[in-house]
Structure 1
């Protein structure tokens, strides 16, 4: 038994440990550094050993997304109001993405339908449906919210700050734009996130008020 394990798996190595090591590698050196061979070296095993825990590179990338998203899951959806739950999830997700900026492009490019991520989506959909949203609308809300959060995180990861750039252009040619950007201040990106999230949630709430009441 020990010989078989030596050929296939290192004692104590798990899928979770592999994915955590992969995320740490991405955090430290970016996506280009992530390969099965390099990951095996980081873990002290042969590259083939990694395949016992993640079958291919695609599954590894999905697993990296899973690790990031897992950091954003509130303890229990449905414990508060749907607006509070969605707000908490949005802030937790943007914080997690901010902690792993090199992983943000992955969330823009692949759905990562791992069982763990699907359970999170199921919980959000269930919470929203219980609050009264029609079942198809729950997915509209989930995707709208996550697209907004990931887009904001991508801009921050790329150090793209429209207001910061606008503040440096010619104020004589664009007085209103420059004035607005300068008045926004240093924390414009955070304030903009708060504003947009509030607007999204208010829009969702308006949608809920239009749902016919079933007698």
Structure 2
């Protein structure tokens, strides 16, 4: 999947085809169908791989609010590192079982804090959608505009993102403390 992510990063979503991937790997496109049934499955694997980057190697946090904020920051960093993938992740969900496995440590922080799993999943999903939407606003392009993603270095995006993320985490802290 590394080659598929590279194509997506350097050439864009439309360039990520079985034929193009086969060329990159030096194999016939038809041979790829032994590994993935088609382009939709390829895109699903790319989504899962990119999401996995956002939780890989993260240090353990002391509390669920810290862990939730760290997840939001990490997920955003990964999305901004793969700007061409942001629209893909916005329209293709991560595999549910894989997502739950990848988020085990984060969900464990909620459990250790006495938060019910349903509430934890609501908080994590809410932050994930916020991060994805913010990244899409930052790197997306309007219809008919140059397809190259906008430069993700705009400093006000960082301020806006952190303000929103911290407001969400604080809001969940207050909401869950009152239960």
Per the normalisation by structure 2, the TM-score is 0.85
Tell me what 1:190 maps to: 158
Question: Is 1:36 aligned to 2:18, yes or no?
Answer: yes
Unmatched tracts of structure 1, length 5 or more: 1-18, 161-185
Structure 1 vs Structure 2 CA RMSD: 2.0
Structure 1 pair 28–198 and aligned structure 2 pair: CA distance change class (3 A): same
Residue 124 of structure 2 corresponds to 142
Is the contact made by 1:132 and 1:208 (CA closer than 8 Å) also made in structure 2?
Answer: no
Name the counterpart of 2:87. 105
User: CA contact under 8 A between 2:4 and 2:21: conserved in structure 1?
Assistant: yes
For the Cα contact (< 8 Å) 1:77–1:127, is it kept in 2?
no
Change (3 A) 1:80 1:120: same
Q: What residue number does 2:174 align with?
A: 206
Cα distance in 1, alignment partners of residues 118 and 99 from structure 2: 19
Q: Name which one, 1 or 2, has greater alpha-carbon Rg.
A: 1
Q: 1:91 aligns with which of 54, 70, 73?
A: 73
Q: CA deviation at 1:79?
A: 4.2
Q: Tell me the residue number matched to 2:45.
A: 63
Contact 2:64–2:109 (CA under 8 A) maintained in structure 1: yes
User: Unmatched 5+ residue regions in structure 2?
Assistant: 143-153
The alignment partner of 2:54 has SS state of coil
Q: Distance in 1 between matches of 2:177 and 2:50?
A: 34
Moved more, 46-55 or 107-116: 107-116
Give TM-score scaled by structure 1 length. Answer: 0.71
Residues 143 and 77 (structure 1), Cα distance of their counterparts in 2 relative to 1, 3 Å cut: farther
Provide the C-alpha distance between the structure 1 equivalents of 2:59 and 2:133, rounded to a whole number of angstroms: 23
- When the two structures are aligned, how many residues end up with a matched partner? 168
Whether the aligned pair in 2 keeps the contact of 1:94 and 1:149 (CA below 8 Å) is yes
Between the aligned partners of 1:23 and 1:101, the Cα distance in structure 2 is: 11
Quick one: distance in 1 between partners of 2:97 and 2:26? Answer: 27
The 2-side partners of 1:131 and 1:75 are apart by 22
| Bigger RCO of structures 1 and 2 (CA < 8 A, at least 6 apart) | 2
Distance (whole Å) between structure 2 residues aligned to residue 50 and residue 114 of structure 1: 24
